[in-house]
Amino acid sequence: MVMEGETTTLKRNLTEWRFSQYPKYILLPIDENHDQIKSNVKNVVFTEVTPRPLERDIHLVCYSEDTLINILDMDPDIVNRDEFAEFIAGRKLPYGALPVAHRYGGHQFGLWVGQLGDGRAHILGEYVNRHGDRWQIQLKGSGQTSYSRVHDGRAVLRSMIREMIASEACHFLGIPTTRSAGLVVSEETVVRDMYYTGNPRRERAAVLLRMSPSWFRFGSFEILSRTGEVTVLRQLADFVIKEYFPDIHLTDENRFIRLFSEIAHRTLDLVAKWQGLGFTHGLLNTDNMSLLGVTLNFGPFGFVDSYDGGFVANCSDGEGRYALAKQPDVVVWNIGQLATALKPLLSSSQQVHMSHILKTLDTYCKNKILETFLMKVGLKEERWGDEQLIEKLLDMMQQTGADFTSTFRQLAEVYKLNDIFYLRI
């Protein structure tokens, strides 16, 4: 929504709109030698690399008016200009762009897989909007980078539509998330095996314009810790504190413990919101866990329909590691890997302190989830027996195949009609 008097601040073309002149990430090590795959690169956080534009018959598929107005300060009429589609396609980069790919590692399905990195995404630059909020602008599907692995750096239309819809839906549902501004498609095609059945087919390539306050993830610390790059690890941790956790002072000798605690609790607050809305992230690897506690990367995901704690949103997750009911435990495990990554920065006594924090996370997470569900059934104060109440409700929903969202909507109607709370008795 545009407030009266703000319309004059909205930019109508890309000549008026520009990135911040100096993105904060230039303070971190950036590799400028980007002509080869970075399988063994060390002591860098980013690699400078230019997007490979889509070329054939670019079309704007959809856009988010809210994101354009309230994050990018763009007049929605900008979408009618060819330059807007060219911007998303990677053809026309506004003034101030400094495209980089981020280097990180990760645990995938519980196993350390080493160096990963942005294989098909380019952070273009940073933008500080009229509200004073700083956002990192990124293209996804914009071609190979130094960290590309098996595929060609492209994304397909169906997956980008899903991410666009999901990220914007999560935002309006109150789930902290990355945002999406627009999506273009080309006549250029790529080969994908949608269901991993050995039957690949050609699909149209697409690029998504998305944004986040930061694209750092657990794996950003993990790769530096695992490879012994302690100096860069400390530099990155201090950078994250200064830019994203202003309540922590860089002079505080316990700053890394406080950073860990903040990230851990923000992340568990996020999981509680997921559980309360039946959202299932199908690929909860550590490289998909944001340091800021926002929902990051919508590959396989789903909102449960008929309630089932075993609901899996990823067809390649045959063992159900990332099932809906297992998400809290998986995320606590991931936070444990973050703790391990930060250990080289801690003294012996600080490591003991961190181990004490880790022991409290299961209880914290269960309490946040219970609080979330109590609010959903209209109970504002927790009392003895409420945990069993919610367990019985979810068990009954699973046994009867009740729709997750409709059940709570109908409970709300019951409360309105009868003003009853005898479920506590």
Would you please indicate which residues are annotated as catalytic (active-site) residues? 287
Cα separation, 122 vs 142, in Å, equals 7
Cα separation, 366 vs 368, in Å, equals 6
Beta-bridge partner residues of 290? 217
Cα separation, 48 vs 145, in Å, equals 9
Q: Smallest Cα–Cα separation from 61: which of 181, 154, 189, 191?
A: 181
**Tokens at 425, concatenated:** 């008795």
Cα separation, 375 vs 382, in Å, equals 10
Residue 115: in which H helix or E strand, if any? Answer: strand 111-115
Phi/psi at 127 (5° precision): -135, 130
Regarding beta strands 30-31 and 46-48, do their DSSP bridges make them parallel or antiparallel, or are they unpaired?
Answer: parallel
Cα separation, 203 vs 187, in Å, equals 9
- The dihedral through the CA atoms of 78, 80, 81, 82 has a sign that is positive
Phi/psi at 264 (5° precision): -60, -45
Q: Cα separations (Å) of 389 from 395, 412, 424?
A: 10, 16, 8
Cα separation, 185 vs 137, in Å, equals 19
Residues ≥6 apart with Cβ < 8 Å to 133: 71, 213
CB count within 10 Å of CB 31 equals 19
Residue 171: in which H helix or E strand, if any? Answer: helix 157-172
CB count within 10 Å of CB 281 equals 26
CB count within 10 Å of CB 367 equals 14
Instruction: Fill in the DSSP letter of residue 177.
Output: B
Q: Contact at 8 Å (CB) between 103 and 93?
A: no
